[in-house]
A and B are shown apart, each in its own frame.
Chain A
Amino acid sequence: MPAAIVAKDVRKSYGGVEALRGVSFDVAEGEVFGLLGPNGAGKTTTVEILEGYRHRDAGEVSVLGHDPGDSPRSLRERIGVVLQQSELTPLLTVREIHRQFAGYYASPRDVDDVIELVGLTEKRDERVKTLSGGQKRRLDLGVALVGDPDLVFLDEPTTGFDPAARRSAWELIRSLRSFGKTILLTTHYLDEAQQLADRVAVIRAGEIVSLGTPAELIGEARTTEIRFRRDGELVVRETDDPTRDLHELTSAALAGGWSLEQIEVRRPTLEDVYLELVGDEGASA
């Protein structure tokens, strides 16, 4: 499949501090790609370079075949953007805002269809300022979709949502994918990346430290862990060959007449992998 986004060795510094230290990844057309990392890792900087808001210091970037650094209108025509923080005119109604934005695009989607899609039909004639936080976020999404974009950027689309609102947002993002939209999503929620993304890049301190499908990330990471207690003391053994190791352990225990108390054999979860990758910074995310 052709690439919707290509980023090669992208670098960006702010006042001598390197925010991005050579970030490279590709996003295929129709793919949902997750950028996962703690706050301040460089997710938003990366996305805003791709959206055309920020200029890279070095590296190559192509978004739908355009260099976003020039932010050409032909590119803006084909992308939809949900910013991490932005508001829409508080005094206009949901429907008016959608109509306002629809007017900017050459071939927009039907305004009422989009409002239905993001679940705001009941609020259609309410002013933006009366919406709840979650409803405003859905409005952001509706406005990002009204131009019928090929590529959608979602910068932390569910931050601050309660669990129910997050699940309904996930449903919505999955339905976008079924329309064949390419989606670049940033999040600091692991479960969100695992639920939605075809592939995930874990970014830490301006560098991608791991990239692959959620299953690959788990697979390539650590070995299996065998934990048990012997005489009350925790023993943790990491192994690449759990079958043989288990056999040896159980044989030894049987022969020696002692037991493997609370024995547990576990594969690392994405969370273990993530915490290992991002280190202490991940703990606060």
Chain B
Amino acid sequence: MTLLLHQLRFEQRTFWRSKEAAVFIFIFPLLLYALLGSVYDGEIDGEPAVDVLLAGLFGYGAMNTAFGGLAIMLVGRRELGILKRLRSTPLPPETYLGALLLSTLVIFALQSVALLALGVFAFDASAPENPLGFAGAIVLGVASFAGLGLAAAALIRSAEGVSAVVNVITLPMAFVSGAFGPTSSYPEFLQAIAEVLPLTYFLDLTNGVYLDGDSLFADPKALAIVVAWGVAGVAVALRRFTWVPRER
């Protein structure tokens, strides 16, 4: 436990000192919300647009922070030999991963609060209808997308390419799944693709707790799909993840 907190402290320090991480991971979803919130007005599907967008950007933020952030960080550390070096210290791997997940959770929780504050104060958005469910969604989102982030880190082979790969996955997924606005006018094939994406179902859950005051467990199918994606990610990571850089 002491070791976990020790490692968490250094993870947090490293994250907040990195300008790339602070901008790409922390600021970017806030920036998108500020932009979209200024463009859309009125209502979307009978709800205030700023609320719908807030719930959407919250989903995007979970994916961006946990999936994108973890994948980029782990591939970078692996290829630099940082992970390899850690592997010969007494720090247990599970403690290291636990600290990374906790650190990601702290970052995303702060981001969620910042997003809410931006919405409430700048755009007159509403507070979550179900605050406890909203908090639960933070944890669920980090856990599931972190599982996928570990899988991506295991499969992506180059430190140079990882940011590009992550963006090619996350930005279209956010668009297709409806994080940036309603998808009802999208062509059918895009909607069909959205049917299998984890973010689509995570957005169902965030919309539920934020807009409608539903319980996090109100849509068991969506919940099960989000969890299943996370578990699948962990399974891939367990089979394929390595601590040492590729042979050069």
Contact = CB atoms under 8 A, between A and B. Distances in A.
Interface stretch (B12-20, B30-38, B100-108, B120-128): B12-20
Nearest to B10: A100
A91 B14 contact: yes
B85 A88 contact: yes
B6 interface: yes
Interface in A89-121: 89, 91-92, 96, 100-101, 103-106
Interface stretch (B53-61, B89-97, B223-231): B89-97
Contact of A86 (B18, B80, B90): B80
B88 A51 contact: yes
B8 to A, nearest CB: 11
Contact of B90 (A76, A92, A96): A76
Main secondary structure of the interface of B (DSSP, over half): helix
A71 B3 CA distance: 19
Interface in A2-56: 51-53
A96 B91 CA distance: 16
Given A89-B14, A91-B18, A96-B13, A83 B92 contact: no
A83 B81 CA distance: 9
B27 interface: no
Interface in B155-170: none
Interface residues of A, number: 26
B6 A76 contact: no
Contact of B244 (A53, A79, A88, A100): A53
A106 B89 CA distance: 11
Main secondary structure of the interface of A (DSSP, over half): loop
Contacts of A85: 81, 245
Given A87-B80, A91-B17, A96-B13, A103 B6 contact: yes
Given A92-B10, A96-B13, A105 B90 contact: yes
Contacts of B245: 85
A52 B81 contact: no
A77 B91 CA distance: 9
A39 to B, nearest CB: 13
Nearest to B83: A86
A91 to B, nearest CB: 4
B87 interface: yes
Interface string A227-255: 00000000000000000000000000000
A207 B82 CA distance: 30
Interface string A66-85: 00000101001101010101
Interface of A: 51-53, 71, 73, 76-77, 79, 81, 83, 85-89, 91-92, 96, 100-101, 103-106, 143, 147
15 contacts: A53-B84, A73-B90, A76-B88, A76-B89, A77-B90, A79-B88, A83-B81, A85-B81, A86-B80, A86-B82, A87-B81, A91-B17, A96-B13, A100-B6, A104-B3
Q: Which 4 A-B pairs have the closest CB atoms?
A: A86-B81, A91-B17, A87-B80, A103-B6
